Structure 1
């Protein structure tokens, strides 16, 4: 018996486990389906692509995407301590003020959430109005220093875009180098930042390699979970709450397997209905991404990262190609629709990045492209059977709304314009799989066949629909969801830092603590 049972030791679950066990009188069990984060490829930043489709990856795919010519899109998600923060590109982005203010949820405006971003942060640039030091999460400048990344930023400025040296400051628009969640050149996942320092606490139990099957109920109250490790069944009870922190695909799956979802579908799958909630698994959003890849003859891409001299540099100094997060540079800008805030984000990496990260680099290359930050299209996550080990059916419905496709065409055009600039000349000798032409029709066709995910699924247990503003599942007791699935709309940018901030705030909501002020957490926010 525990006070709290947390399902999922990812970006949110690691934070919750660490914060809740600060009270020595509270007993917490944190359950992770995958193993410990002991693989070297987790901690060496440039190696994260080697984790795809391994035992540390849930290895999801979309169902046939109706607006991508029926293609299926590979969807990696972390299945390891740290979750997707252990296999992601480590880009530290909070999103835009407009994102949080538009949610319309009490307590979740930008000004109310900013103190939690600051409390979490240990930024090597120091404390400021927008940044904190002393928090668990290390945020640093890139140590890779690849000339292609700086050339990309120079080319964007030559193409007429503005410069920005802090995408998490007063303004988001412009191009520059990304800050990353790294500590001394190594990945600083949520597990590294939050969970490992708390593992020695006697009131925290961490169960790895346990697949949770469903939440148990007595009447309308959640009482614990049932799961398995190999063939052994485990029943773990929660005195106060069960907290799902399993992510935008797995949290709605667990709710549905537990009898919370569309009643008609659940009955058809022989799942006993606890609560008829047709919005569970709906509202799925993601950032579709189209990469432009240019091969060249300069031997400076990450294809050379395994050279002994670079290995030695990394071991001795934590710098060089092996410290690269791949997406080193980028920027935010607005499509021809002229929105009130950026709706497109560029990411650029000094490597041949193809086939959603599953392709093998064969040439020195630079890869960059735009992702759509404000999709209007909506997808869904639904169970296909009552077998808890089965994978869910995921349909993102990318470009269901034609406005999304039009914006992505603007993004591809902007990328082609950047490629024509002087600064990128040495690195754009040959384009791999280019559009057939720059006509609208050919660019639309190119977007459909080249779109991959930017790995940012959200929205499937949204505030105001499935959960309330304190992240409690509406209609039952003793059950919360705390992860990216609670975002009503996806934020403008990478979702790891916002998920950590959501969990920081949720830990205060659960403990009944007063929200911190910005000034109180700017310095020494451990």
Structure 2
């Protein structure tokens, strides 16, 4: 029996475990389906793609996407301490002020959530109105800054776009280098930043390799969880609350297997309905990317990273190409000058990143492309079976909303224009993967053939639909969700930064602490 049971030691779950256990009068158990984050490739930033489709990855795919030539789209999710913060590209990108304000939920406006970003942060640039120092999460400037990345930024400026040194500051518009969640050139996951320093506390218990199958609900209240470790059934009780921190796919999956979800769907599968809520699993959103890949013969891509001198540089100094997070730089643009904020971002990496990162590089290359930030398309997570070990059915329904494909086409054209600029021309002479021409027909065909995910699934347990503004699951006492699934929209950022802030705020909500004072900026 513990006061709090957290399901999922990921981006938000590690934050929760650390913050809740700061109170010595409460007991906390955090449960992770995966194992410890000891693999070397977890901590070498440039090696994150090596973790895909391994035991550290839930290894999800969508079902066939009708608007993407019926292709299945890969979605890696971390199955390890730190969750996806242990296998992602380490981008530290908050959403736009308009996004948080647009959620329309009390307690979640930009001015209200900014203090939690600042509390979590230890930014090497120092503190200011937008950033904090002294927090657990190291936020730093990248230490690779590949020559191709610099050339991409310069080409964007030559194409007429502005420069931006801080995408988490006053404005997102423009191009520059991203900040990353790294410490001394190595990955700083939420396991590294929050969980490991807290594990010595006697009131914090960690359970690994335990997959939770169901939340126990008695008389309308969550009283614990049950699952399996190998062939053994394990039940863990919660005296106060159960908190789900499994992410956009696993949290709704677990809710539905616990009888919380669309009654018609659950009845068909023979699952006893505890709460009929047709919103569970809906509102699934993502940031699709249309990658452009240009190959060349110049020995400057990340293929050089494993050469002996660079391994030595990384080990001794924490610098060099092995510190690259992949998408080192990029920018934000508006495809229509009348928009209130950017609707497209560009993520740029000095390597051949093909087929969702599953394709092996065959030569030196640069990869970049438009990422749709505010698309109207909505998908859903449902169940294929009443067996909780079966993967969820994921359908993102990319480009199903009117106008989304048009934005993608406009973004590709911007990307092709950047490729024509002088600074990038040494690296873009050979089209490894790009539209045959800039005709509408060719660009649209390319978008449908090569769009994949940037791995930003969110929204399936949305505030206002599945949980209330204090993250309490509607219809059940003692049960909350705290992860990116509660975000009504993914916004114009990379959700990992917001997941950390959600974990910070959720801890205050659970412990009954007053909200941090607003921090207008």
Q: TM-score, normalised by structure 1?
A: 0.98
In structure 2, the partner of 1:438 is 438
In structure 2, the CA distance between the partners of 1:337 and 1:227, relative to structure 1 (3 Å rule), is: farther
In structure 2, the partner of 1:469 is 469
1:337 to partner: Cα distance: 7.0
In structure 2, the partner of 1:252 is 252
In structure 2, the partner of 1:161 is 161
Equivalent pairs counted in the alignment come to 521
1:474 to partner: Cα distance: 0.6
Match status 1:80 vs 2:83: no
In structure 1, the partner of 2:396 is 396
Residue pair 2:472, 2:481 contacting (<8 A) in 1 also: yes
Q: Distance in 1 between matches of 2:183 and 2:161?
A: 31
In structure 2, the partner of 1:50 is 50
Counterpart mapping for 1:72-471 below 5 A: 72-336=72-336, 338-471=338-471
Q: Distance in 2 between matches of 1:421 and 1:337?
A: 22
Instruction: Single out whichever of 511-520 and 381-390 deviates more from structure 2.
Output: 511-520
1:338 to partner: Cα distance: 3.5
Residue pair 2:162, 2:174 contacting (<8 A) in 1 also: yes
Structure 1: state its 5+ residue gaps. Answer: none
Q: Distance in 1 between matches of 2:35 and 2:101?
A: 37
1:517 to partner: Cα distance: 2.8
Q: Distance in 1 between matches of 2:67 and 2:423?
A: 35
1:315 to partner: Cα distance: 0.6
1:486 to partner: Cα distance: 0.3
Measured against aligned partners, the alpha-carbon deviations of 1:211-234 in whole angstroms (never above 9, x if no partner) come to 000000111100000011000000
Q: Secondary structure at the match of 2:297?
A: coil
Measured against aligned partners, the alpha-carbon deviations of 1:272-299 in whole angstroms (never above 9, x if no partner) come to 1101111000000000101101111110
Measured against aligned partners, the alpha-carbon deviations of 1:464-497 in whole angstroms (never above 9, x if no partner) come to 0000000000111000000000011111011100
Q: Distance in 2 between matches of 1:473 and 1:493?
A: 25
Structure 2: state its 5+ residue gaps. Answer: none
Q: Distance in 2 between matches of 1:64 and 1:271?
A: 26
Q: Secondary structure at the match of 2:214?
A: strand
Q: Distance in 2 between matches of 1:300 and 1:67?
A: 36
Residue pair 1:409, 1:443 contacting (<8 A) in 2 also: yes
1:519 to partner: Cα distance: 6.8
RMSD of aligned Cα (Å): 1.1
1:339 to partner: Cα distance: 1.8
Measured against aligned partners, the alpha-carbon deviations of 1:437-472 in whole angstroms (never above 9, x if no partner) come to 211122111101111101100000000000000000
Residue pair 1:118, 1:518 contacting (<8 A) in 2 also: no
Q: Distance in 2 between matches of 1:423 and 1:337?
A: 25
Q: Distance in 1 between matches of 2:506 and 2:198?
A: 18
Measured against aligned partners, the alpha-carbon deviations of 1:351-381 in whole angstroms (never above 9, x if no partner) come to 0110000000111011111100001000000
Runs of 4+ off more than 4 Å = none
Measured against aligned partners, the alpha-carbon deviations of 1:92-146 in whole angstroms (never above 9, x if no partner) come to 1011000000000001000000000000000000011111100000000010121
Residue pair 2:155, 2:421 contacting (<8 A) in 1 also: yes
Q: Distance in 1 between matches of 2:33 and 2:81?
A: 9
Counterpart mapping for 1:4-23 below 5 A: 4-23=4-23
Residue pair 1:336, 1:407 contacting (<8 A) in 2 also: no
In structure 2, the partner of 1:38 is 38
Q: Distance in 1 between matches of 2:238 and 2:498?
A: 27
In structure 2, the partner of 1:490 is 490
In structure 2, the CA distance between the partners of 1:334 and 1:171, relative to structure 1 (3 Å rule), is: same
Q: Distance in 2 between matches of 1:259 and 1:515?
A: 32
